[in-house]
């Protein structure tokens, strides 16, 4: 299984190794990241991406900042600024700032402790993904029927988007391993094609039958009865269960509600943002015009035309059949609010 992000231990030259996801599947190129500036560039260009992988990047980013700060004799304020810059490199996935803040909180205990905390984020993420995949597969088979299922998914939620195994992808993988997955429709995921380039690459490697479809086909695929459920990941889930994920996700949710089939969100608990009450309050990243107005590296629109390029959308909780985390399954469409709060336990599955 490919690792999206790893820490390379090399004394003072220790650094982060990323597979450059902007080049997949054409080229498997690794980036050796040894400065905060390089890490921020990798995050913003989507060389590393996906909420849980960004959580690990935030954590390892603090370790990197400490090493870089020691090399350049940064003041505490300069170190703070560097850590903040990592935490805020992209706004929507809560995991990035969560990872950076969690690791920064142990900074006073020294570099070894910082690195151990960053490693803990990665280890916990893999464990969470494997557990939520089992829970999600159980829930789906119980809800839809014990037979090979057909799914639609959006964006990329596999090992590349996490530290290992995947979230929504992990559920699909788990169903496949149980002989309970017939076919996956993979949305191409405009404009950066995480579905076509990344999810399809992972499904191909895992031997999972799939078809890539344009994003515009997804609602009709659902309404025509070609799939039994939709499953997506999440970048931020607010206290009421509203879910930000890659733009295009909400179209799947609307179509599933109309067709009466499950729309499932899968994410580690680190994606739940209990401090934000509702989806209206989530900052949606807007990216550059060129991503929309170019195709295959060439400009395709009339010169001077501007684009609207939100990277994410928010699916209201009442359209979500199940939110699956490693702590259990909640059913937002059928549950009193708030779903998630520091003192509200998630019902065990």
Contacts with ligand MRU, residue ranges (CB under 6 A): 46, 49-52, 93, 155, 157, 161-162, 167, 194, 233-235, 245-246, 311
Nearest of 174, 163, 136 to residue 265 by alpha carbon: 136
Residue 49 or 173 having the CB closest to ligand MRU: 49
Catalytic residue among 228, 235, 242, 313: 235
> Residues of 291-314 as b/e, b for ≥16 C-beta within 10 angstroms?
ebbeeeeeeeeeeeeeeebebbbb
Choose among 160, 236, 226: nearest CA to 192: 160
| Minimum gap (Å) between residue 70 Cβ and ligand MRU | 30
Q: Which is nearer to ligand MRU, 114 or 189 (CB)?
A: 189
DSSP string for 182-213: EEEEEE--TTTTIIIIIIHHHHHHTT--EEEE
Give whichever of 69 and 233 is closer to ligand MRU, judged by the CB atom. Answer: 233
**Do 312 and 213 contact (CB within 8 A), yes or no?**
no
Q: If 0-12 CB within 10 Å is exposed, 13-18 middle and 19+ buried, where does residue 220 land?
A: exposed
Min dist CB 209 to ligand MRU, Å, is 21
Closest to ligand MRU by CB, 234 or 323: 234
**Closest distance of CB 29 from ligand MRU, Å:** 18
Complex with ligand MRU: residue 42 or 161, whichever CB lies closer: 161
15 SS3 class: strand
- Chain residue whose CB lies nearest ligand MRU: 233
125 is an active site residue = no
Helix or strand run (H / E) with residue 98 = helix 94-104
> The tokens of 256 are what?
């599933």
Residue with tokens 């839809």: 144
Q: Which is nearer to ligand MRU, 94 or 239 (CB)?
A: 94
Give the shortest CB-166-to-ligand MRU separation in angstroms.
6
Closest separation in Å from C-beta 51 to ligand MRU: 4
**CA 132 from centroid of its chain's CA atoms:** 14
Strand-strand pairing, 149-153 and 5-8: unpaired
| Least distance to ligand MRU, CB of residue 104, Å | 22
Phi, psi angle pair for 346, to nearest 5°: -80, 130
> Is 152 in a helix, a strand, or coil?
strand
Positions annotated as catalytic residues are: 235
């Amino acid at each position: 299984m490919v690792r999206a992000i790893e820490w390379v231990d090399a004394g003072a030259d220790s650094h982060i190794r990323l597979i450059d996801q902007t080049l997949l599947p054409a080229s498997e190129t690794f980036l050796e990241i040894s400065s905060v500036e390089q890490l921020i560039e990798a995050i913003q260009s989507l060389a590393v991406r996906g909420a849980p992988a960004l959580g690990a990047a935030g954590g390892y980013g603090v370790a990197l900042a400490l090493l870089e700060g020691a090399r350049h004799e940064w003041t505490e304020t300069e170190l703070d600024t560097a850590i903040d810059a990592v935490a805020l490199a992209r706004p929507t996935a809560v995991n990035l700032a969560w990872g950076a803040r969690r690791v920064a909180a142990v900074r006073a205990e020294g570099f070894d402790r910082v690195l151990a905390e960053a490693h803990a984020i990665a280890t916990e993420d893999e464990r969470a993904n494997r557990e939520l995949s089992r829970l999600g597969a159980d829930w789906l088979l119980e809800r839809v029927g014990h037979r090979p299922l057909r799914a639609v998914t959006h964006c990329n939620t596999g090992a590349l988007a996490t530290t290992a195994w995947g979230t929504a992808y992990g559920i699909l993988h788990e169903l496949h391993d149980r002989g309970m997955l017939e076919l996956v429709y993979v949305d191409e995921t405009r404009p950066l094609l995480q579905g076509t380039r990344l999810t399809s690459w992972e499904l191909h490697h895992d031997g999972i039958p799939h078809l890539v479809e344009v994003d515009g086909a997804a609602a009709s695929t659902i309404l025509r009865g070609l799939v039994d459920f939709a499953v997506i990941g999440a970048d931020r889930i607010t206290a009421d269960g509203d879910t930000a994920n890659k733009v295009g996700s909400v179209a799947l949710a609307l179509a599933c509600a109309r067709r009466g089939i499950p729309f499932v969100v899968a994410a580690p608990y680190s994606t739940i943002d209990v401090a934000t009450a509702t989806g209206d309050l989530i900052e949606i990243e807007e990216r550059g015009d060129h991503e929309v107005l170019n195709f295959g590296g060439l400009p395709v629109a009339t010169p001077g035309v501007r684009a609207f390029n939100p990277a994410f959308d928010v699916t209201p909780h009442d359209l979500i059949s199940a939110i699956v985390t490693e702590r259990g399954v909640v059913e937002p469409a059928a549950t009193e609010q708030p779903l998630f709060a520091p003192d509200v336990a998630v019902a065990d599955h």
